[in-house]
Chain A
Amino acid sequence: MSTPSDDDVRNVIIIGSGPAGLTAAIYAARANLEPLMFEGEPSSTSDQPGGQLMLTTDVENYPGFPDGIMGPELMLNFRAQAERFGTEFVTDKVTAVDFSTRPFRVWVREREYRAETIIVSTGARSLWLGIENEQRLTGHGVSSCATCDGFFFRGHHIAVIGGGDSAIEEATFLTKFADKVTIVHRRDELRASKIMQDRAFANPKIEFLWNHTVVELEGTEKLEGVVVEHVETGERSPLPVTGLFVAIGHKPNTDLFQGVLDMDENGYLETRSGSTATNIDGVFACGDVQDHVYRQAITAAGSGCMAAIDAERWLEANVHAAAPAGASG
Protein backbone atom coordinates (compact mmCIF):
# COMPACT_ATOMS: atom_id res chain seq x y z
CA MET A 1 0.00 0.00 0.00
CA SER A 2 1.60 3.26 -1.06
CA THR A 3 1.15 6.44 0.91
CA PRO A 4 -1.03 8.87 -1.02
CA SER A 5 0.42 12.31 -1.61
CA ASP A 6 -1.49 15.45 -0.68
CA ASP A 7 -2.30 16.09 -4.34
CA ASP A 8 -4.32 12.90 -4.57
CA VAL A 9 -8.02 12.84 -3.94
CA ARG A 10 -8.37 10.97 -0.66
CA ASN A 11 -11.16 8.51 0.02
CA VAL A 12 -11.99 10.16 3.30
CA ILE A 13 -10.91 13.18 5.28
CA ILE A 14 -11.84 13.23 8.96
CA ILE A 15 -11.99 16.62 10.68
CA GLY A 16 -11.64 16.33 14.46
CA SER A 17 -9.89 13.81 16.70
CA GLY A 18 -12.05 13.06 19.74
CA PRO A 19 -13.62 9.66 20.38
CA ALA A 20 -15.90 10.03 17.32
CA GLY A 21 -13.23 11.04 14.82
CA LEU A 22 -10.64 8.53 16.02
CA THR A 23 -13.16 5.68 15.99
CA ALA A 24 -14.14 6.67 12.45
CA ALA A 25 -10.42 6.64 11.61
CA ILE A 26 -9.94 3.14 13.06
CA TYR A 27 -12.84 1.75 11.02
CA ALA A 28 -11.96 3.65 7.85
CA ALA A 29 -8.30 2.62 8.09
CA ARG A 30 -9.25 -1.03 8.59
CA ALA A 31 -11.43 -0.75 5.48
CA ASN A 32 -8.27 0.30 3.58
CA LEU A 33 -9.63 3.79 2.98
CA GLU A 34 -6.33 5.38 4.08
CA PRO A 35 -8.03 8.18 6.02
CA LEU A 36 -6.44 11.57 6.44
CA MET A 37 -7.24 13.13 9.80
CA PHE A 38 -7.00 16.79 10.79
CA GLU A 39 -6.60 16.46 14.52
CA GLY A 40 -6.51 20.12 15.49
CA GLU A 41 -3.74 21.97 17.29
CA PRO A 42 -2.60 22.18 20.91
CA SER A 43 -4.67 24.38 23.20
CA SER A 44 -5.57 24.54 26.87
CA THR A 45 -9.27 24.30 26.10
CA SER A 46 -11.21 21.23 25.02
CA ASP A 47 -10.64 22.35 21.42
CA GLN A 48 -7.43 20.32 21.03
CA PRO A 49 -6.24 16.98 19.61
CA GLY A 50 -8.07 14.27 21.54
CA GLY A 51 -10.92 16.60 22.44
CA GLN A 52 -12.73 17.14 25.70
CA LEU A 53 -11.37 14.05 27.44
CA MET A 54 -7.86 15.53 27.27
CA LEU A 55 -8.85 17.84 30.13
CA THR A 56 -10.41 15.18 32.35
CA THR A 57 -8.91 12.85 34.90
CA ASP A 58 -10.53 9.48 35.67
CA VAL A 59 -12.99 8.18 33.10
CA GLU A 60 -15.04 5.60 34.99
CA ASN A 61 -17.85 4.89 32.53
CA TYR A 62 -15.99 3.89 29.37
CA PRO A 63 -16.64 0.15 29.00
CA GLY A 64 -13.61 -2.12 29.03
CA PHE A 65 -11.76 -0.34 31.81
CA PRO A 66 -13.12 -1.77 35.07
CA ASP A 67 -10.69 0.30 37.16
CA GLY A 68 -11.20 3.47 35.11
CA ILE A 69 -8.65 5.13 32.86
CA MET A 70 -7.30 8.67 32.63
CA GLY A 71 -8.96 10.69 29.86
CA PRO A 72 -5.71 11.68 28.09
CA GLU A 73 -4.44 8.10 28.24
CA LEU A 74 -7.69 6.80 26.74
CA MET A 75 -7.43 9.26 23.87
CA LEU A 76 -3.77 8.48 23.21
CA ASN A 77 -4.81 4.82 23.01
CA PHE A 78 -7.54 5.69 20.49
CA ARG A 79 -4.97 7.59 18.43
CA ALA A 80 -2.38 4.80 18.55
CA GLN A 81 -5.02 2.33 17.38
CA ALA A 82 -6.03 4.60 14.47
CA GLU A 83 -2.36 5.10 13.55
CA ARG A 84 -1.65 1.36 13.69
CA PHE A 85 -4.01 0.76 10.78
CA GLY A 86 -2.64 3.53 8.62
CA THR A 87 -4.43 6.75 9.54
CA GLU A 88 -2.40 9.76 8.48
CA PHE A 89 -2.51 12.75 10.84
CA VAL A 90 -2.17 16.46 10.27
CA THR A 91 -1.74 18.32 13.56
CA ASP A 92 -3.47 21.48 12.49
CA LYS A 93 -6.90 23.05 12.27
CA VAL A 94 -8.90 23.18 9.07
CA THR A 95 -9.43 26.84 8.20
CA ALA A 96 -11.90 26.59 5.29
CA VAL A 97 -13.99 24.03 3.43
CA ASP A 98 -15.77 23.84 0.08
CA PHE A 99 -18.34 21.06 -0.15
CA SER A 100 -20.22 22.58 -3.10
CA THR A 101 -18.48 20.43 -5.72
CA ARG A 102 -16.83 17.03 -5.67
CA PRO A 103 -14.18 16.17 -4.82
CA PHE A 104 -14.70 18.10 -1.59
CA ARG A 105 -11.95 20.48 -0.61
CA VAL A 106 -10.58 21.54 2.76
CA TRP A 107 -7.81 24.01 3.50
CA VAL A 108 -5.30 24.58 6.25
CA ARG A 109 -4.44 28.20 5.53
CA GLU A 110 -3.21 28.12 1.85
CA ARG A 111 -2.73 24.36 1.66
CA GLU A 112 -5.52 22.49 -0.10
CA TYR A 113 -6.58 18.88 0.43
CA ARG A 114 -9.26 16.96 -1.51
CA ALA A 115 -11.44 13.94 -0.72
CA GLU A 116 -14.43 12.00 -2.00
CA THR A 117 -16.05 11.91 1.44
CA ILE A 118 -15.76 13.98 4.59
CA ILE A 119 -16.44 12.95 8.17
CA VAL A 120 -17.05 15.91 10.47
CA SER A 121 -16.23 15.15 14.11
CA THR A 122 -15.19 18.56 15.40
CA GLY A 123 -16.99 18.10 18.72
CA ALA A 124 -17.96 20.86 21.09
CA ARG A 125 -16.05 23.34 23.19
CA SER A 126 -16.67 24.69 26.67
CA LEU A 127 -18.69 27.84 27.02
CA TRP A 128 -17.30 30.83 28.88
CA LEU A 129 -19.42 33.17 30.98
CA GLY A 130 -18.88 35.95 28.47
CA ILE A 131 -18.59 38.67 31.10
CA GLU A 132 -16.15 41.53 31.48
CA ASN A 133 -12.59 40.72 32.63
CA GLU A 134 -13.01 37.01 31.99
CA GLN A 135 -10.47 36.79 29.17
CA ARG A 136 -8.10 39.24 30.83
CA LEU A 137 -8.03 37.18 34.05
CA THR A 138 -7.63 33.86 32.30
CA GLY A 139 -4.41 32.43 33.63
CA HIS A 140 -4.65 34.77 36.61
CA GLY A 141 -7.27 32.96 38.62
CA VAL A 142 -9.75 32.19 35.86
CA SER A 143 -9.06 28.81 34.30
CA SER A 144 -10.35 26.50 31.60
CA CYS A 145 -8.34 23.51 32.77
CA ALA A 146 -8.67 22.19 36.32
CA THR A 147 -6.15 19.43 35.72
CA CYS A 148 -3.58 21.96 34.49
CA ASP A 149 -4.10 24.67 37.04
CA GLY A 150 -5.45 23.08 40.24
CA PHE A 151 -1.90 22.90 41.57
CA PHE A 152 -1.68 26.71 41.76
CA PHE A 153 -4.71 26.95 44.05
CA ARG A 154 -3.36 25.25 47.13
CA GLY A 155 -5.14 26.77 50.10
CA HIS A 156 -7.42 28.94 47.96
CA HIS A 157 -11.20 29.28 47.95
CA ILE A 158 -12.39 28.41 44.44
CA ALA A 159 -15.73 28.78 42.67
CA VAL A 160 -16.80 26.24 40.07
CA ILE A 161 -19.69 27.39 37.89
CA GLY A 162 -22.14 24.80 36.59
CA GLY A 163 -24.13 21.76 37.63
CA GLY A 164 -23.30 19.01 35.16
CA ASP A 165 -20.78 16.17 35.25
CA SER A 166 -17.91 18.43 34.17
CA ALA A 167 -18.57 20.94 36.94
CA ILE A 168 -18.83 18.26 39.61
CA GLU A 169 -15.74 16.43 38.38
CA GLU A 170 -13.71 19.65 38.39
CA ALA A 171 -14.97 20.62 41.84
CA THR A 172 -14.12 17.22 43.28
CA PHE A 173 -10.68 17.26 41.66
CA LEU A 174 -9.96 20.78 42.92
CA THR A 175 -10.62 19.80 46.56
CA LYS A 176 -7.24 18.05 46.38
CA PHE A 177 -5.68 21.52 46.39
CA ALA A 178 -8.21 24.09 47.53
CA ASP A 179 -9.40 24.72 51.09
CA LYS A 180 -12.93 25.23 49.89
CA VAL A 181 -14.80 24.87 46.61
CA THR A 182 -18.15 26.58 46.09
CA ILE A 183 -20.27 25.22 43.26
CA VAL A 184 -22.36 28.07 41.90
CA HIS A 185 -25.34 26.78 39.95
CA ARG A 186 -28.25 28.64 38.39
CA ARG A 187 -30.76 25.92 39.33
CA ASP A 188 -31.65 24.29 42.63
CA GLU A 189 -30.56 20.82 41.60
CA LEU A 190 -27.67 19.25 39.71
CA ARG A 191 -27.74 17.74 36.25
CA ALA A 192 -24.70 15.55 37.01
CA SER A 193 -24.97 11.77 37.28
CA LYS A 194 -26.11 10.44 40.66
CA ILE A 195 -22.77 8.90 41.58
CA MET A 196 -20.97 12.20 40.97
CA GLN A 197 -23.60 14.11 42.94
CA ASP A 198 -23.30 11.76 45.91
CA ARG A 199 -19.52 12.23 45.93
CA ALA A 200 -19.86 16.00 45.84
CA PHE A 201 -22.48 16.10 48.60
CA ALA A 202 -20.27 13.87 50.77
CA ASN A 203 -17.16 16.03 50.24
CA PRO A 204 -16.66 18.31 53.27
CA LYS A 205 -14.72 20.87 51.19
CA ILE A 206 -17.57 21.40 48.70
CA GLU A 207 -20.34 23.93 49.32
CA PHE A 208 -23.27 24.78 47.08
CA LEU A 209 -24.68 28.13 46.14
CA TRP A 210 -27.98 27.35 44.43
CA ASN A 211 -29.96 29.61 42.10
CA HIS A 212 -27.05 31.95 41.52
CA THR A 213 -25.00 33.09 38.56
CA VAL A 214 -21.69 34.96 38.46
CA VAL A 215 -22.13 38.47 37.09
CA GLU A 216 -18.86 40.25 37.87
CA LEU A 217 -15.19 39.38 38.21
CA GLU A 218 -13.00 41.57 40.39
CA GLY A 219 -9.26 42.07 40.35
CA THR A 220 -6.67 43.83 38.27
CA GLU A 221 -3.54 41.67 38.34
CA LYS A 222 -5.38 38.54 39.38
CA LEU A 223 -8.84 37.41 40.43
CA GLU A 224 -9.71 38.79 43.85
CA GLY A 225 -13.40 37.97 44.08
CA VAL A 226 -16.64 37.60 42.17
CA VAL A 227 -20.15 39.00 42.48
CA VAL A 228 -23.00 36.51 42.33
CA GLU A 229 -26.64 37.23 41.61
CA HIS A 230 -29.74 35.33 42.72
CA VAL A 231 -31.61 34.25 39.59
CA GLU A 232 -35.06 35.07 41.02
CA THR A 233 -34.58 38.00 43.40
CA GLY A 234 -31.71 39.63 41.49
CA GLU A 235 -29.99 40.21 44.81
CA ARG A 236 -26.22 40.57 44.45
CA SER A 237 -23.56 39.52 46.90
CA PRO A 238 -19.79 39.13 46.92
CA LEU A 239 -18.10 35.73 46.92
CA PRO A 240 -14.45 36.07 47.99
CA VAL A 241 -12.86 33.48 45.71
CA THR A 242 -9.41 33.69 44.13
CA GLY A 243 -10.00 30.93 41.59
CA LEU A 244 -12.80 30.47 39.07
CA PHE A 245 -13.45 27.41 36.93
CA VAL A 246 -16.26 27.58 34.40
CA ALA A 247 -18.15 24.43 33.35
CA ILE A 248 -21.52 25.71 32.20
CA GLY A 249 -21.96 23.71 29.05
CA HIS A 250 -20.79 23.38 25.50
CA LYS A 251 -21.11 24.90 22.08
CA PRO A 252 -20.63 22.80 18.92
CA ASN A 253 -17.57 23.57 16.80
CA THR A 254 -19.46 24.32 13.62
CA ASP A 255 -18.32 27.85 12.67
CA LEU A 256 -16.48 26.31 9.72
CA PHE A 257 -19.72 24.90 8.32
CA GLN A 258 -22.03 27.93 8.62
CA GLY A 259 -24.18 28.15 5.50
CA VAL A 260 -22.76 24.83 4.27
CA LEU A 261 -24.21 22.11 6.48
CA ASP A 262 -27.69 22.15 7.99
CA MET A 263 -27.67 22.87 11.71
CA ASP A 264 -30.21 23.44 14.44
CA GLU A 265 -30.77 26.76 16.21
CA ASN A 266 -27.89 26.01 18.61
CA GLY A 267 -25.43 25.20 15.85
CA TYR A 268 -25.47 21.40 16.16
CA LEU A 269 -25.23 19.63 12.79
CA GLU A 270 -28.38 17.87 11.58
CA THR A 271 -28.00 14.25 10.53
CA ARG A 272 -30.58 12.03 8.89
CA SER A 273 -32.32 9.84 11.46
CA GLY A 274 -30.63 6.46 11.90
CA SER A 275 -27.53 7.51 9.95
CA THR A 276 -24.69 10.02 10.05
CA ALA A 277 -25.57 11.59 6.68
CA THR A 278 -25.74 15.38 6.54
CA ASN A 279 -27.62 17.43 3.94
CA ILE A 280 -24.64 17.11 1.58
CA ASP A 281 -24.31 13.74 -0.09
CA GLY A 282 -20.93 12.27 0.92
CA VAL A 283 -20.47 14.41 4.04
CA PHE A 284 -21.09 12.65 7.35
CA ALA A 285 -21.14 13.92 10.93
CA CYS A 286 -20.57 12.09 14.21
CA GLY A 287 -19.95 12.74 17.88
CA ASP A 288 -20.85 15.80 19.93
CA VAL A 289 -20.94 18.10 16.90
CA GLN A 290 -24.30 16.49 16.04
CA ASP A 291 -25.40 15.27 19.50
CA HIS A 292 -26.67 17.54 22.23
CA VAL A 293 -28.59 14.75 23.94
CA TYR A 294 -26.17 12.01 25.05
CA ARG A 295 -22.70 13.61 24.69
CA GLN A 296 -20.74 10.66 26.04
CA ALA A 297 -17.39 9.29 24.85
CA ILE A 298 -19.05 5.94 24.14
CA THR A 299 -21.91 7.41 22.11
CA ALA A 300 -19.44 9.58 20.21
CA ALA A 301 -17.30 6.52 19.48
CA GLY A 302 -20.40 4.59 18.39
CA SER A 303 -21.46 7.31 15.97
CA GLY A 304 -17.88 7.55 14.68
CA CYS A 305 -18.06 3.87 13.75
CA MET A 306 -21.39 4.54 12.00
CA ALA A 307 -19.88 7.43 10.03
CA ALA A 308 -16.97 5.32 8.79
CA ILE A 309 -19.34 2.55 7.67
CA ASP A 310 -21.67 5.10 6.03
CA ALA A 311 -18.69 6.66 4.21
CA GLU A 312 -17.38 3.26 3.10
CA ARG A 313 -20.79 2.26 1.68
CA TRP A 314 -21.16 5.63 0.02
CA LEU A 315 -17.76 5.21 -1.67
CA GLU A 316 -18.73 1.72 -2.81
CA ALA A 317 -21.93 2.98 -4.36
CA ASN A 318 -20.75 6.29 -5.80
CA VAL A 319 -17.03 6.19 -6.49
CA HIS A 320 -15.50 2.74 -6.52
CA ALA A 321 -18.40 1.24 -8.48
CA ALA A 322 -18.24 4.00 -11.08
CA ALA A 323 -14.47 4.21 -11.55
CA PRO A 324 -11.76 1.57 -11.98
CA ALA A 325 -9.83 0.69 -8.84
CA GLY A 326 -6.98 3.06 -8.03
CA ALA A 327 -8.63 6.13 -9.56
CA SER A 328 -8.73 7.81 -6.20
CA GLY A 329 -5.03 7.33 -5.45
Chain B
Amino acid sequence: MATGIVNLSTATFDETVAAADGPVVVDFWAEWCGPCKAIAPILEELAGELADQATIAKLNVDDNPDIAMRFNVMSIPTLLVFNDGEVQKRLVGAKGKNHLLEELDEFLPGSR
Protein backbone atom coordinates (compact mmCIF):
# COMPACT_ATOMS: atom_id res chain seq x y z
CA MET B 1 0.00 0.00 0.00
CA ALA B 2 0.91 3.63 -0.12
CA THR B 3 3.79 4.91 1.91
CA GLY B 4 3.43 8.39 3.34
CA ILE B 5 0.31 10.49 3.34
CA VAL B 6 -1.68 10.61 0.11
CA ASN B 7 -2.78 14.12 -0.77
CA LEU B 8 -6.30 13.91 -2.20
CA SER B 9 -8.24 16.40 -4.31
CA THR B 10 -11.70 16.49 -5.83
CA ALA B 11 -10.25 14.95 -8.98
CA THR B 12 -8.59 11.98 -7.27
CA PHE B 13 -10.83 11.42 -4.24
CA ASP B 14 -13.32 8.83 -5.49
CA GLU B 15 -10.83 6.81 -7.44
CA THR B 16 -8.36 6.60 -4.56
CA VAL B 17 -10.91 5.79 -1.89
CA ALA B 18 -12.71 3.16 -3.98
CA ALA B 19 -9.61 1.50 -5.39
CA ALA B 20 -7.68 1.12 -2.14
CA ASP B 21 -7.04 -2.37 -0.89
CA GLY B 22 -7.92 -2.00 2.80
CA PRO B 23 -9.11 0.93 4.91
CA VAL B 24 -8.53 4.54 3.89
CA VAL B 25 -8.35 7.22 6.57
CA VAL B 26 -9.00 10.70 5.18
CA ASP B 27 -8.03 13.73 7.26
CA PHE B 28 -10.13 16.80 6.37
CA TRP B 29 -7.93 19.79 7.23
CA ALA B 30 -7.02 23.39 6.45
CA GLU B 31 -4.05 25.66 6.90
CA TRP B 32 -5.84 27.94 9.37
CA CYS B 33 -6.91 25.15 11.74
CA GLY B 34 -4.66 24.83 14.80
CA PRO B 35 -5.78 21.37 15.94
CA CYS B 36 -5.26 20.13 12.34
CA LYS B 37 -1.64 21.22 12.52
CA ALA B 38 -1.29 19.54 15.90
CA ILE B 39 -2.28 16.12 14.49
CA ALA B 40 -0.42 16.42 11.16
CA PRO B 41 2.83 14.91 12.53
CA ILE B 42 0.86 12.09 14.18
CA LEU B 43 -0.77 11.21 10.85
CA GLU B 44 2.66 11.25 9.19
CA GLU B 45 3.84 8.73 11.79
CA LEU B 46 0.76 6.56 11.30
CA ALA B 47 1.24 6.62 7.53
CA GLY B 48 4.65 5.11 8.09
CA GLU B 49 3.75 2.68 10.85
CA LEU B 50 0.53 1.45 9.24
CA ALA B 51 1.88 1.44 5.67
CA ASP B 52 1.04 -2.27 5.26
CA GLN B 53 -2.41 -2.02 6.80
CA ALA B 54 -4.09 1.20 5.75
CA THR B 55 -3.92 4.20 3.47
CA ILE B 56 -3.63 7.51 5.29
CA ALA B 57 -4.79 10.44 3.16
CA LYS B 58 -5.63 14.09 3.60
CA LEU B 59 -7.93 16.53 1.89
CA ASN B 60 -7.65 20.30 2.10
CA VAL B 61 -11.19 21.66 2.63
CA ASP B 62 -10.26 25.14 1.36
CA ASP B 63 -9.23 23.74 -2.02
CA ASN B 64 -11.88 21.00 -2.16
CA PRO B 65 -15.01 22.32 -0.44
CA ASP B 66 -17.30 20.12 -2.56
CA ILE B 67 -15.90 16.92 -1.05
CA ALA B 68 -16.17 18.35 2.48
CA MET B 69 -19.78 19.31 1.78
CA ARG B 70 -20.60 15.91 0.29
CA PHE B 71 -19.57 14.20 3.53
CA ASN B 72 -21.18 16.86 5.77
CA VAL B 73 -17.87 17.88 7.28
CA MET B 74 -18.61 20.94 9.43
CA SER B 75 -15.71 20.73 11.84
CA ILE B 76 -12.05 20.07 11.29
CA PRO B 77 -10.07 18.06 11.75
CA THR B 78 -12.52 15.31 10.87
CA LEU B 79 -11.17 11.87 10.02
CA LEU B 80 -13.35 9.61 7.90
CA VAL B 81 -12.51 5.93 7.71
CA PHE B 82 -13.52 4.31 4.40
CA ASN B 83 -13.71 0.66 3.49
CA ASP B 84 -14.67 -0.36 -0.08
CA GLY B 85 -15.55 3.28 -0.75
CA GLU B 86 -18.07 3.50 2.13
CA VAL B 87 -17.71 5.63 5.26
CA GLN B 88 -17.29 3.29 8.23
CA LYS B 89 -16.41 5.76 10.95
CA ARG B 90 -16.28 9.49 11.60
CA LEU B 91 -13.84 10.94 14.12
CA VAL B 92 -14.46 14.62 14.85
CA GLY B 93 -11.74 16.67 16.52
CA ALA B 94 -8.04 16.25 17.13
CA LYS B 95 -6.89 13.31 19.21
CA GLY B 96 -3.59 11.97 20.52
CA LYS B 97 -1.80 9.12 18.79
CA ASN B 98 -2.89 6.45 21.27
CA HIS B 99 -6.51 7.48 20.98
CA LEU B 100 -6.35 7.46 17.19
CA LEU B 101 -4.80 4.00 17.17
CA GLU B 102 -7.54 2.72 19.48
CA GLU B 103 -10.20 4.18 17.19
CA LEU B 104 -8.61 2.72 14.06
CA ASP B 105 -7.78 -0.66 15.53
CA GLU B 106 -10.99 -2.39 14.43
CA PHE B 107 -10.24 -1.59 10.77
CA LEU B 108 -6.66 -2.75 10.69
CA PRO B 109 -5.95 -6.23 9.39
CA GLY B 110 -3.71 -8.38 11.60
CA SER B 111 -0.02 -8.53 10.79
CA ARG B 112 0.62 -10.26 7.51
A residues adjacent to B (C-beta < 8 A): 41-45, 48-49, 54-55, 72, 91-93, 109, 138-141, 143-145, 147-149, 151-153, 221-222
Contact = CB atoms under 8 A, between A and B. Distances in A.
Nearest to A72: B34
Interface in B66-111: 68, 72-78, 90, 92-99
Interface in B38-64: 38-39, 42, 61-62
Given A44-B93, A44-B94, A45-B93, A149 B38 contact: no
B17 interface: no
A152 B74 contact: yes
B42 A42 contact: yes
Sorted from nearest, which 4 A-B pairs have the closest CB atoms? A41-B96, A139-B92, A44-B93, A42-B38
Nearest to B33: A148
Given A42-B38, A44-B35, A148 B76 contact: yes
A139 B74 contact: yes
A41 B95 contact: yes
Nearest to A93: B96
B58 to A, nearest CB: 15
Contacts of A109: 98
Contact of B77 (A44, A91, A138): A44
B75 A44 contact: yes
Contacts, number: 82
A152 B62 CA distance: 10
Q: Which of A44, A45, A147 has the most CB of B within 10 A?
A: A44
A140 B76 contact: no
B36 interface: yes
B74 A140 contact: yes
A140 B72 contact: yes
B18 interface: no
A55 B35 CA distance: 8
Contacts of B98: 41, 92, 109
A109 B34 CA distance: 26
A38 to B, nearest CB: 12
Contacts of B97: 41
A138 B75 contact: yes
B96 A91 contact: yes
B30 interface: yes
A222 B96 contact: no
Contact of A54 (B34, B61, B75, B95): B34
Contact of B30 (A140, A143, A151): A151
A148 B96 contact: no
Contact of B75 (A41, A49, A92, A145): A145
A181 to B, nearest CB: 16
Contact of B99 (A41, A45, A143): A41
Contacts of B62: 151
Given A138-B92, A139-B93, A43 B72 contact: no
Contacts of A151: 30, 32, 61-62
